[in-house]
Amino acid sequence: MSQSNLQTPVSRLGQWLASPLNPRQYLELINPLWANRCCGEVVAIRRETDAAVTLEINPNHLWNGAVSGQYVRLGIDVEGVRYWRCYSVASAQMPTDRTFSVTIGRVDGGRVSTHIQDALRVGDVIALDQATGDFTLPTSASQTPLLFISAGTGVTPIAGMLRHLRDTGVEADVVHLHYAPDQRRCLFAEELAAFNQLSSFRTHQLYTRADGAAKSSSHFSLQQLSAICPDWAERKAYVCGPVPLMDAVRQVWSDGNLSEQLTEECFQPVRADVPTGAGGQVSFWKAGSEVAGAGDKSLLEVAEDAGLLPAHGCRMGICQGCIVTLKEGQVRDLTTGDVFGEAGESIRICVCAAAGDVTIDL
């Protein structure tokens, strides 16, 4: 039985009587959703594939709502430590909706995704941050031809937008290319195929490792795109998926001088080339420890390897949840390759690495 299942009203009452708490904390012991911080109860868990689950979450009164395609930070407690991770809203969000869903794939060696897959239970209460992000539909979706390109779990924010269009009855002109290894590992395979029953939707599931007739001849390419969607250059395009797909799509739109028509959602930071041996000694000011930091390894990863647990969120330099003060030295921005830094400057440790010896306020 999970620890969360032991948090019954009786056990919470016992904690109440044994602990000096403020009035709001007394209410939280009775019902965790009455907390004075944003949180949500997991009300359903659906297995999508062998390596992915969907969580349906009922947030408390502090939740401001979401737009399909945005992302939200979830605070997941693993062995007494809270870890923050960002996940895209995969549900069609209507003005009256109280719940929302996220679909989470298992990451090999991932502490949080493994816990969600194997240990999270219906009834568990998790911490939430407000939804954010601009990977959303245009306001004139019914008048703007749309093209979606996704692979793997990159389909989750796009699924949210497709579901929103379907459920609101918007007659949008939509073409969707989704790449997966095979049908068994394709998220929402049946639902994506069902979108073709709508007159204005055309979805294409492209299996890169499947045997037989269902196998696509190649991964994403301009030739393949032009064959499936000849008017691709005239559409507002969205792409989300692994780095190789993102790079390939970005290059096609750049070569066509169409970059402004492409909206991207990255699950991993795009990193610049880093000179070999460009790291240094990393000193943690508060912890009083020092370790070697490679020039291509983020300070967040260096800190975690050293046994520290700094606050963070997206791990991509977007959410600003990992900002730390630089005490001494300089750092390299892994997304641009630029070296910068002065004492007292705030840095994002998830996308910064040591550029020589450096001291940070951790």
Domain CATH number, residue 316: 3.10.20.30
Whether residue 247 is found in the same domain as residue 293: no
pLDDT at 5: 45
pLDDT at 1: 38
In a domain, 174, yes or no: yes
- The domain spanning residue 101 has which CATH number? 2.40.30.10
- Domain stops at, among 232, 266, 300: 266
Phi, psi of 260 (to 5 degrees): -70, -15
188 closest CA partner among 43, 42, 54: 54
Domain coverage including residue 18: 3-128
pLDDT at 230: 97
In a domain, 36, yes or no: yes
In a domain, 134, yes or no: no
pLDDT at 224: 95
What domain count does the chain have?
Answer: 3
236 closest CA partner among 156, 163, 144, 139: 144
- The domain spanning residue 162 has which CATH number? 3.40.50.80
- Domain stops at, among 266, 301, 319: 266
C-beta contacts of 242-249 below 8 A and 24+ residues apart: 242/151, 242/152, 242/154, 242/267, 242/268, 243/268, 243/270, 244/219, 245/149, 245/151, 245/154, 245/179, 245/219, 245/220, 246/270, 248/219, 248/220, 248/221, 249/149, 249/220
Whether residue 251 is found in the same domain as residue 150: yes
pLDDT at 257: 97
In a domain, 311, yes or no: yes
pLDDT at 16: 47
What is this structure's pTM? 0.77
pLDDT at 4: 45
Whether residue 262 is found in the same domain as residue 168: yes
Whether residue 121 is found in the same domain as residue 160: no
In a domain, 186, yes or no: yes
pLDDT at 167: 92
The series of mean pLDDT values per 10 residues for the chain, 362 residues long, is 46 52 52 76 96 96 92 90 89 85 92 94 94 92 95 96 93 95 92 92 89 60 96 97 93 97 83 73 93 92 87 78 91 90 91 93 93
148 closest CA partner among 133, 160, 134: 160
pLDDT at 97: 78
In a domain, 274, yes or no: no
In a domain, 257, yes or no: yes
Residue 5 contacts residue 42 (beta carbons within 8 Å): no
